[in-house]
Structure 1
Amino acid sequence: MSAPSLTSDPAASISRDGLARHNALVLACAQALGGANPAIVVSLGGLVGQVLAENKQLATLPVSLTNLGLALGTIPAAMLMRRVGRRSGYIFGAGLCAFAGCLAAFGIASSSFLIFCLGTFISGFYGSFVQSYRFAATDAASDSFKPQAISWVMAGGLVAGIVGPQTVIWTSDLIPTAPFAGGFIAQSCLALISLVIVSFLRSAPATAVPQSGSSGGRPLLVIMAQPRFIVAVAAGLVSYGLMSFIMTAAPLAMVDCGYPVQTAALGIQWHILAMFGPSFFTGRLISRFGKAQITGIGLLLIALAAAIGLSGLSVAHFWTTLILLGIGWNFGFIGATSMVIDCYRPEERSKVQAANDFLVFGSVAVASFSSGKLLSSGGWMSVNWLVFPPVIIALILLAWQKTRKVPLPT
């Protein structure tokens, strides 16, 4: 027996979208706080690493470990939420971040690079819960509302773009004997506030997630072998991986050029605002022009950001690079996420979402670690030159898919 359609009853779609709007707003608020987590780590992780690490090539290791924790946490987070539900899982994740922030602050206070790295690694596990907010927003949504639900949640990151860097600026010198430790104490406080917010999340009705017996749908490898899935993951991987690659190196490159930490933090703030600001209309753009088209535009903007980065070393060049990088990431990543949703049936969502995020954020961890080493050995220009080959490959894959007529899974 085939699974019941999620869009066959217009009245039911309206009811589901009311619930989806409530959850999207709750998750957008949680995103506003959870999105500050990576902003704090990116702004401070490399700087703390330069002070604590004996080998300066490992300065960005704390940022890389955050991304590694995110990648490794995607599958356990999905399994936990499948067992206890989205809300309980998100509460657990926020509590984990509160602990991680305190641990990182203790690592700074005790001058232990190992403990500090452990704290940032655990904060990455929290990121695996936060990154699933965009999928959770679609649990009860009709097909027509799903791109907008994703955009609503991602728009919450606009507030994170202000909260994260400003938290760094306001709290970096809060503890004179442990510079930057105050930022990670603040990280814990933000996580605790998020814990309260996610408690208002409502569960999607059982009819919105039909089950196909006890099999959970098709085998994961069968789903992952779909050309549609491969292209969607490749687009997400390139969009997020390259964004992390440049963003991780940018604060260090600015400081190396003689600019103060505050200037670097403000650059990250503009970048995060650019990452999430377009989310107010990205969903509508996708509905009007198509997922592949908006994803492709995002990839082109990332390439343009690298070109600007190659053209000069002024504050304007750095900030313009980070702004274009953020907009390109928004179009590319939201578009790729919408493409992933087309690859699975409702009963397959947990395992496919986890597999997608594991692949994407695993690449992000590699990108952020490679960025620090490349910046140390080859400089800021080398970081930007390496953007172009992956973008070209991803664009070719998107163009190839446009020539194929592949039906959606039913």
Structure 2
Amino acid sequence: MNLLSKSEKRNAVIETYLNSPERQRKLYRRTLITVIFSQIFGGAGLAAGITVGALMAQDMMGTDKFSGVPTALFTLGSAAAALLVGRFSQKLGRRIGLGMGFVVGGLGALGVVAAALANSLVLLLISLLVYGAGTATNLQARYAGTDLASPKQRATAASMAMVFTTLGAVAGPNLVNVMGSVALSIGVPSLAGPFLLAAVAYLLAGAVLLVFLNPDPLLIANAIAEKSSEGSTGSSSQTLGEAAKKGVTLGAFIMILTQVVMVAIMTMTPVHMKHHGHGLSEVGLVIGFHIGSMYLPSLITGILVDKVGRTVMAMASGVTLLLAGITAATAPSDSMGMLIIALSLLGIGWNFGLISGTALIVDSTTPSNRAKVQGSVDVLIALAGASGGALSGMVVASTSYSTLSYIGGFIALLLIPIMFWLKSKK
């Protein structure tokens, strides 16, 4: 009886939004603010694995050959989480799907700390898989801002959620030494320090969403779409279905290709730097610039994607990633400036691809299937990242960091001809 009354109450709340565009606009703005605050914490959480994950594995395994495995594992974990978060969000709303995803990611970060204390490689690998839930959730949160956005606001809405990830994401890598000292002071290995920060950050991000993302924007958007479709005919459903599939395929391809290139080069940069005498603080600085470049340009990128088009910005992504690969490959090993430029370009290229691809996915879905499709696409993105992370170590071990960077850059450039081919394909 209690469950029924809760359901009735929720339906009554949804009903108040159906005939009030003003209430819808207010909820859209409030949703963005809530997502923004969660992203600030989420950004700090995702930075830990990127910055020190490979270094922890290198210490435990005693070889560089498998130093890409941690990135592959938490990216693989994020693939499973993306699927689950998408399914739960579609069924129960963004609040439950995203909130619980961050909580699980926080528990995974605590598991990494426990693995460092026990010096257990098995526990480390399992915990990194669970930690990946935070990465997937952090990425999927960008969609929550688009649920109530108009078609001309979608890329901008997604980018607003992402740009505030910068605050936490840049702070995280630059707190490596501080958190290492904190960890040592409580008897935890220094490399596990950033994961202490990640645990707190992810748990706070989850709490913000669970408490404040109410009413749920996806449930409201779904109800609005159902009402607007009442009385419409299905005569054009076939055509719309074909167009939607094409848009989803195009958006997914853009994000998958950019993810592979970005993760591969990013994963091996800390290892490359350590081999050439750079300390943790220098690694943290370079990765901080990289993550900042992944998210900080988002607001401008979103406006550009909405104004000049999804395809143009996707092609700009391929060119920017090529420049990143060439710069990384030719950068002198002792040049912090060149490495910062290379990793910044890498982040910007990824940003262009992610936001243009995200906008295409949102354009090609409806509230009734949006979260499910988004989760499925993010699974493919995560698997692509896992592949890039795992293979990067092997490529560097058998060739060099420069070779990896060249390969990544030229793969990204393939985005341009393949985009033309996919768009012209009937």
TM-score (norm 1): 0.89
Tell me, yes or no, if structure 1 residue 67 matches structure 2 residue 75. Answer: yes
Matches within 5 A, 1:37-186: 37-176=45-184, 177=187, 178-186=189-197
Indicate if the aligned counterparts of 1:157 and 1:272 stay in contact, CA closer than 8 A. no
- Counterpart CA distance in 1 for 2:107 and 2:301 is 34
- Counterpart CA distance in 2 for 1:336 and 1:154 is 14
- 1:164 deviates by 1.4
1:256 to 265, 270, 275: 275
1:78-121, CA deviations, whole angstroms, 9 ceiling, x for partnerless residues?
Answer: 22223332212223222212211111001111111111121111
Indicate if the aligned counterparts of 1:168 and 1:183 stay in contact, CA closer than 8 A. yes
- Counterpart CA distance in 2 for 1:275 and 1:402 is 26
Question: Which residue of structure 2 aligns with residue 200 of structure 1?
Answer: 212
Question: Which residue of structure 1 aligns with residue 327 of structure 2?
Answer: 308
Q: Share of identical aligned residues, percent? A: 23
Please tell me the residue identity of whatever aligns with 1:241.
V
- 1:346 deviates by 2.8
- Counterpart CA distance in 2 for 1:142 and 1:117 is 42
Indicate if the aligned counterparts of 1:223 and 1:229 stay in contact, CA closer than 8 A. no
2:391 to 354, 370, 388: 370
1:344 to 365, 375, 381: 365
Change (3 A) 1:400 1:190: same
Query: Where do 5+ consecutive residues of structure 2 fail to align?
Result: 1-18
Indicate if the aligned counterparts of 2:71 and 2:267 stay in contact, CA closer than 8 A. yes
Indicate if the aligned counterparts of 2:153 and 2:306 stay in contact, CA closer than 8 A. no
- Counterpart CA distance in 2 for 1:223 and 1:163 is 44
Question: Which residue of structure 1 aligns with residue 8 of structure 2?
Answer: none
2:36 to 28, 31, 49: 28
Indicate if the aligned counterparts of 1:160 and 1:272 stay in contact, CA closer than 8 A. no
Please tell me the residue identity of whatever aligns with 1:158.
T
SS in 2 for 1:309: helix
Tell me, yes or no, if structure 1 residue 298 matches structure 2 residue 298. Answer: no
2:340 to 315, 319, 322: 319
Tell me, yes or no, if structure 1 residue 245 matches structure 2 residue 257. Answer: no
- 1:401 deviates by 5.0
- 1:280 deviates by 2.0
Change (3 A) 1:131 1:209: farther
Query: Where do 5+ consecutive residues of structure 1 fail to align?
Result: 1-10
- Counterpart CA distance in 2 for 1:367 and 1:331 is 19
RMSD: 2.6
Change (3 A) 1:95 1:355: closer
Structure with greater proportional helix content: 2
Indicate if the aligned counterparts of 1:98 and 1:187 stay in contact, CA closer than 8 A. yes
TM-score (norm 2): 0.85
1:317-355, CA deviations, whole angstroms, 9 ceiling, x for partnerless residues?
Answer: 211100111111111110111111222233221221122
- Counterpart CA distance in 2 for 1:301 and 1:68 is 26
Please tell me the residue identity of whatever aligns with 2:275.
D
Number of residue pairs aligned between Structure 1 and Structure 2: 392
1:355-405, CA deviations, whole angstroms, 9 ceiling, x for partnerless residues?
Answer: 21111111011001111221222111111121144323321122345557x
